[in-house]
Amino acid sequence: MDNRPVGTRQARDLLRVAFGPSIVALVIIAAVVLLQLLIANSDMTGAFGAIASMWLGVHQVPVSIGGRELGVMPLLPMLLMVYGTARTTAAALAPNASWFVVRWVVASALGGPLLIAAIALAVIHDASSVLTELQTPGALRAFGGVVAVHLAGALIGVARRMQRRLARLPGVPAWLPESIRAGLTGVLALCGLSGVIAVGSLVVHWGTMHDQFTITDSMFGQFSLSLLSALYIPNVIVGTAAVAVGSSVHVGLATFSSFTVLGGDVPPVPVLAALPTPPLGAVWVALLIVAAASAVAVGQQCSRRPEPLPAAAAKVLVAAVVAAVIMALLGYAGGGRLGNFGDVGVDQATFGPAIVLWFVAVGFLTVAMAGGISRVRRPRPVATAPRPQPDAESQTRPVILGPRPSDPEPAESEPADREELEPDEGYDDPLPADDEEPVADVAPPPMVPREPRAVDLDDDPEAHFITDDDSGVDWPGPTSGESRRPAD
């Protein structure tokens, strides 16, 4: 249990979110750069400029060396940076944290990297005065790339930690979390199957990959080529996914699609040996299977909880749009200008729409076949007994607003037990009618109090006294010597 004050813990969490992933990336980049310089037996001039340039390159900021722009940056470091930011952001938040704390955490996730980006730009500008071939990237492009990468990671961390609260927001459909999960499943399925196709293509073009490794004779050079190829594996997977859904990939003048291949100069990177060579033959059939299988995975996820037809269609459509947006962003981040080879990337005009078309068509068909569409059952009317109609006599009977003279006055309180009543409490049990039969286990009627006898206030109480003269009885009286006192 952490016994430190709350303010100390929160400050430590904010510092970890702000500088944790960026410092780890800087340490790894510095180790690689210094190792490269030591092996190349070079001095440390411009080492800080190289470290700063590579850190900005992790955020997809182009690097310009000698007038040639390297805009095709590897996707693997960027994905690791997004993952690190999302993890630290989620660790700094509690599921019941207030939105004020959430805003502070997101601001910390953006503020720390922006500070490091400003320092990196200053270091590159200072190093460019010594290394004239190194050029300072544009500030707007640098800050924009840093904000985009860390904002994506922060939003993913917030959504991961507070997904239940976000799902209960007003106006959010109940099926929206399942739809987003289905879209992410489609992205993973498409990238995974495309990776299998890329590995198979590398095996088929093993000779071409071996020839590209022979451009250097040193073991360290071949190790560097292997590391560079590993960093560019996500770029190749995204390009394979674009070809699988019917779009195209271009590397300078070379164009690759499911139906046509136009050759051209390809950079000597071993992982690019997976690019197809003409003629394609029946390879396009396997690529169409990849797209269809990914769409089936989306449909299966959407059919886990049956919904009515409009909700089921909207769920599939939202999943397809989410998957298309994610893949389009990955395609944009993995492309750019590659020196003299020209532009490298996917055809953005057809990549996203092709994914939406595949996932909507095949995904909705899968939902319909898997029972993901439920029928709306209308409530059946319940049969009720008809109410008895009042007779003519009861309708013409006058309404008595007060109690009837013949009705007994209600008792103020009914005793709980009849046996506990004393005989002199003034209650009489009413007699049952002659034509009624006694019913077993029926509560007895309430006891009616006896009407009190009317008292005549004008009656003289002396009239009820009895005297000797009135009764005619010889009562023993006083002696002859005693005088008789008059009656009171």
Residue 444 included in any domain: no
Tell whether 23 and 134 lie within a shared domain.
yes
Question: What pLDDT digit, counting tens, does each position of 163-187 carry?
Answer: 888 888 888 888 898 999 999 999 9
Tell me which of 156, 172, 188 is where a domain ends.
172
Average pLDDT (42-67) is 85
For residue 194, the tally of other CB atoms under 10 A from its CB is 24
The one-letter amino acid code at 295 reads A
pTM: 0.74
Return the minimum-mean-pLDDT range out of 83-92, 253-262, 329-338, 436-445.
Answer: 436-445
Residue 244 lies in a domain: yes
Cα 6 → chain centroid = 28
One domain for residues 167 and 236: no
The reply to whether 48 and 186 lie within a common domain is no
In a domain, 206, yes or no: yes
DSSP 393-411: HHHHSPPP-S--SSSPPPP
User: Same domain for 179 and 166?
Assistant: no
Is the pLDDT at 451 greater than 80? The verdict is no
pLDDT given at position 318 = 95
Is residue 215 a part of any domain in this protein?
yes
- Asked if residue 391 is part of any domain, the answer here is no
pLDDT band at 389 (very low <50, low <70, confident <90, very high): low
Peptide bond into 432 cis (omega under 30): no
Per-residue model confidence (pLDDT) at position 135: 84
The average pLDDT across 69-90 equals 92
| Gyration radius of the chain's alpha carbons | 47
| pLDDT in the model for residue 454 | 54
Question: What count of other Cβ atoms lies within 10 Å of the Cβ of residue 98?
Answer: 9
When mean pLDDT is compared across 4-8, 9-13, 346-350, the lowest value belongs to 4-8
- What confidence score (pLDDT) does residue 158 get? 93
Residues 98, 37: one domain? Answer: yes
Residue after which a domain boundary falls, among 339, 356, 375 = 375
167 and 306, same domain (yes or no): no
Helices (H) then strands (E): counts for the chain: 15, 10
Distance between CA atoms of residues 360 and 299, nearest Å: 9
Is there a domain that residue 111 lies in? yes
- Whether residue 138 has pLDDT greater than 70: yes
130 and 47 inside one domain: yes
Residues 117 and 20 in one domain: yes
Phi-psi group of 472: left, alpha or beta (phi > 0 → left; psi -120 to 50 → alpha; rest → beta): left
Q: Are strands 336-337 and 254-257 parallel, antiparallel or unpaired?
A: unpaired
Long-range contacts of range 73-76, CB-CB < 8 Å, 24 or more positions apart? 73/333, 73/334, 73/336, 74/228, 74/231, 74/232, 74/234, 74/235, 75/232, 75/234, 75/235, 75/238, 75/330, 75/333, 75/334, 76/230, 76/231, 76/232, 76/233, 76/234
Q: What is the pLDDT of residues 86-134, one digit of tens each?
A: 999 999 988 888 888 899 999 999 999 999 999 999 999 888 877 777 7
**pLDDT at 230 > cutoff 50:** yes
Total domains in the fold of the chain: 2
347, 375, 403 - which closes a domain: 375
| Residues 118, 199 within the same domain | no
Decide if 20 is inside a domain. Answer: yes
pLDDT score of 387: 65
Confidence class of residue 479 from pLDDT cuts 50, 70 and 90? very low
Residue 204 shares a structural domain with residue 300: yes
Model pLDDT, residue 256 = 87
Question: Do 89 and 195 belong together in one domain?
Answer: no
Kindly state whether residues 93 and 124 are assigned to the same domain: yes
Residue 121 in domain? yes
Domain range enclosing 84: 1-172
Q: In angstroms, rounded to a whole number, what is the distance separating the alpha carbons of residues 333 and 335? A: 6
